[in-house]
Every structure is written in structure tokens, then in C-alpha cells.
Amino acid sequence: MSDIHIDIKNKTYTTADSQQHTAIADLKLSLADNKFVCLVGPSGCGKTTLLNIIANLDTQYEGEISLGQNHKQPNIGYIFQNPRLLPWRTVRENIELALDSPQTEIIDSLLEAMQLTHIQHKYPEHLSLGMSRRISIIRAFAINPDILLMDEPFVSLDAPTARQVRGLLMDLWQQRPHTILFVTHNLREAIALADRLVFLSASPMSVVSEVEVTIPRDDRNNEVLVEDFRQYLLNNHPEIKELL
């Protein structure tokens, strides 16, 4: 598929006291295929709104989104901030429901890759948050998406679990590359994952700057390198300091 172009001229929302606010103004973004892009911005700046617009869950905006593939709606996987699993369906059923036809082998291999084969017949309420997050990642990968949207999927996980799930995510993505839009306000996490960082400002949201991450993929686990890159960013891009 061809590149993704996002051009949102205006997105407003109305608060409970009937006041209109602009959430997004003149946001232009072009994304190359199969890249891992992190959207970094302060909490509440409208990142989730942007993902909802791309996922076609929110259609109340002025502008244009072109997701490549002429005339054909691309397959979009969405990993929400909370896992949004159906509590009355088992782990396996939750994944199967996202698919049009049963694809046993794909589900089996994903469950194995995420080390969850042993809990596939359990109900989500009986699982930890880390496990539920991994299931939501499997569900998104199972549909073999063209674009994967991730909304702070590691928030409220403890550091070792977050690191583990991040590692599993990267393994999966390298096996099946596709465009990922990953929302976070954690700069270290963004550097460790992304090909490209897009910094966003709040109220209204727009792009402040875009930076390529130059650390080789194999060195992303090296915390010293990540920290060095973070310092380099803060020194050379003073405009992003106030966003963090």
C-alpha cells in the first residue's frame, strides 16, 4: 500500500457547559509504509482523538485522511488504552471474533509468540492486566493489519512487564511489518520503539517537530544509548521540552 496522509483542518468538541473548543487545528502528517511512528505529546492533547479519527470511529471533523490503498478501506488494528476485551468470551474467542473466518494456525502462532497458549480458554476477568494487554495485541495482529494504532498500551503496567510486552511486540512487528502509530507521553519508550518521533502540542493539537530515531534496531534495549538520544533531543530541539 502507499503512504498515509493525514490533513485535519479543524476538529472541535463541545464541553458539558456547551462551550466549543478546538481540539486539532491544521495537523498535517505523512507516514511512510511499514514504519513505526510514535506520537509524543502531553496528556489530554488529543492523541486518542486523532487515533479515533484515523480508525474512522470519529467522523466529526474537517479535513481529509488518505490511508493509501485507493477505494479500499485498509485493515486497521487498534490497541486501545484499556484492552477492551469481551469479558464473557474466552481469550481465544476474543481473538477469533475479530477475524472474518476462523484461522486456527495464525491464532495458535500468535498465542505462542505472546506466551499465552496456556490461558487461551480462560475468561479475561481471571487474568492480569499485562496478560489482557498482550491479548489485545494478539487480536490486533491477528487481523493482519495494514495500519496498527496503539494508544498508550503499556500505561499502568509495571516496568518489567512493560519491557517484556514491548519486546514481544517488537518481535511480532519485525515478523509482520506494517505501519504502526503509537501514542505515548513517555519519551524513553518512544525512542526505544520508533523509527520516527512526531511531537504534538496541546490545545489545539498540531505537529511541533518530527525526528528520525537513528539508534540501530538491535541497540534499542541499551538504556544508555536511549538516554543519550533523549539528551541529544532535548538539547537540539528545545521546542519539545515543554511538551514532556
Partner 1 sequence: MNLANKTLASLSFVLLIVLWHGLALYINDNTLPTPVVVIQVFWQEVESGQLPYHLGLTLLRLIASFSIAMFLGCAIGIILGRNKKLDAFFDNWLVIFLNIPALVTIILCYVWFGLIESAAILAVVINKLPNVIVTIREGTKALDKDLLEMARCYNFSKKKTFFHVIWPQLHPFVMAATRSGLALIWKIILVVELLGRSDGMGYQIHLFFQLFDVASILAYTIAFIAVIQAIELLILKPLDKKALRWKR
d(CA 43, CA 184): 9
Residue 80 interacts with partner 1 (CB under 8 A)?
yes
Residue 244 interacts with partner 1 (CB under 8 A)?
no
Residue 47 interacts with partner 1 (CB under 8 A)?
no
Q: Quick one: three-class SS letters along 95-141?
A: HHHCCCCCCHHHHHHHHHHCCCHHHCCCCHHHCCHHHHHHHHHHHHH
Residue 34, all three cell numbers: 511499514
Query: Closest CB to partner 1 among 88 and 232?
Result: 88
The angle formed by the CA atoms of residues 150, 154 and 159, to the nearest 5 degrees, is 155
| Binding region for partner 1 (CB under 8 A) out of 10-18, 34-42, 53-61, 178-186 | 53-61
Query: Which of these, 123, 133, 61, 69, lies nearest to 94 by C-alpha position?
Result: 123
Residue 229 interacts with partner 1 (CB under 8 A)?
no
Quote the least distance from Cβ 98 to partner 1, whole Å: 4
> Which residues share a beta bridge with 104?
none
Helix (H) or strand (E) run with residue 198 in it: strand 196-200
Residue 84 interacts with partner 1 (CB under 8 A)?
yes
Residue 78 interacts with partner 1 (CB under 8 A)?
yes
Quote the least distance from Cβ 53 to partner 1, whole Å: 12
Q: Which of 32, 97, 129, 234 binds partner 1 (CB under 8 A)?
A: 97
Residue 55: half-sphere exposure toward Cβ, Cα within 13 Å: 20
Residue 123 interacts with partner 1 (CB under 8 A)?
yes
Query: Closest CB to partner 1 among 80 and 182?
Result: 80
Residue 72 interacts with partner 1 (CB under 8 A)?
no
Quote the least distance from Cβ 92 to partner 1, whole Å: 13
Distance of alpha carbon 222 from the chain centroid: 22
Query: Closest CB to partner 1 among 67 and 240?
Result: 67
User: Residue 11 in contact with residue 22, Cβ under 8 Å?
Assistant: yes
Binding region for partner 1 (CB under 8 A) = 52, 55-57, 76, 78, 80, 82, 84, 86-89, 97-98, 100, 123-126, 139, 143
